[in-house]
């Protein structure tokens, strides 16, 4: 008889392994781009981030085999923006979205955090999953963030090359509620 599995819930630190697995299983590129000041995350935000990133490459393998995937984590003072974009052809115009549970599961997870999620065709092609996850005002202090080789916080447990450079660029954040989804896109916001 074996005991209970005491593996911690997956979170931000496991994203590197997840993207390595996605790259190894498809042979396509997968990058993790990080911008903003990396801060410790609430366990719920970490798990939701992981599940969004986990589901998106699964959908890419299913609907756009061989497409490269970029995962962007943009830290702001009050939110974490998680964007996953593939280089595939995007949704077929006029065809209803897949009735699978992946996007629905993402919506439910984001809603539990009072966040926002937009999914649909990406500008210029491909498919985009864009989530805005609010950060609690009080961040748990028990979640250490390891320093990277440059002394800045590093959300990845290793310094391996992940198919592209880690981005230190600082881009302005746009609130999803201000965006008008392109044709065929769906935006969902948690009820107020």
What pairing do the DSSP bridges indicate for beta strands 69-75 and 30-35?
A: parallel
pTM: 0.68
175's CB contacts (< 8 A; 6+ apart) are 132
Q: How far apart are CA 150 and CA 156, in angstroms?
A: 13
3 assigned to some structural domain: no
Answer yes or no: are the C-beta atoms of 106 and 116 closer than 8 Å. no
Count of the separate structural domains present in the chain:
1
69 assigned to some structural domain: yes
71 assigned to some structural domain: yes
Q: How far apart are the first and last CA of the chain?
A: 47
1 assigned to some structural domain: no
7 assigned to some structural domain: no
CATH number at residue 149: 3.30.565.10
Question: Maximum distance among all alpha carbons in the chain?
Answer: 55
100 assigned to some structural domain: yes
Q: Which domain holds residue 166?
A: 12-189
Q: How confident is the prediction along the chain (192 residues), in pLDDT tens digits per residue?
A: 566 777 778 877 789 898 888 888 878 888 999 999 999 999 999 999 999 999 877 888 888 888 899 999 999 999 999 999 999 888 777 766 665 678 888 999 999 999 999 988 898 889 999 999 999 876 555 444 555 555 444 444 333 333 333 333 333 333 333 333 334 454 444 444
**Helices then strands, each counted (H, E), the chain:** 3, 6
């Amino acid at each position: 008889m074996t005991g209970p599995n005491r593996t911690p819930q997956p979170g931000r630190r496991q994203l590197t392994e997840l993207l390595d697995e996605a790259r190894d299983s498809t042979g396509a590129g997968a990058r993790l781009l990080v911008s903003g000041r990396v801060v410790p995350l609430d366990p719920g935000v970490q798990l939701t981030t992981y599940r969004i990133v986990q589901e998106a490459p699964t959908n890419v393998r299913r609907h756009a085999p061989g497409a490269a995937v970029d995962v962007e984590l943009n830290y702001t003072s009050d939110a974490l923006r998680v964007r996953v974009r593939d280089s595939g052809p995007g949704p077929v115009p006029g065809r209803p979205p897949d009735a699978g549970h992946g996007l629905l599961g993402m919506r439910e997870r984001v809603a539990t955090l009072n966040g926002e999620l937009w999914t649909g065709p990406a500008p210029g092609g491909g498919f985009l999953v864009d989530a805005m996850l609010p950060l609690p005002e009080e961040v748990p202090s028990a979640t250490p963030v390891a320093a990277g080789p440059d002394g800045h916080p590093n959300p990845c447990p290793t310094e391996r090359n992940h198919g592209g450079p880690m981005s230190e660029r600082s881009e302005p954040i746009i609130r999803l509620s201000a965006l008008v989804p392109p044709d065929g896109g769906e935006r969902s916001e948690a009820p107020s």
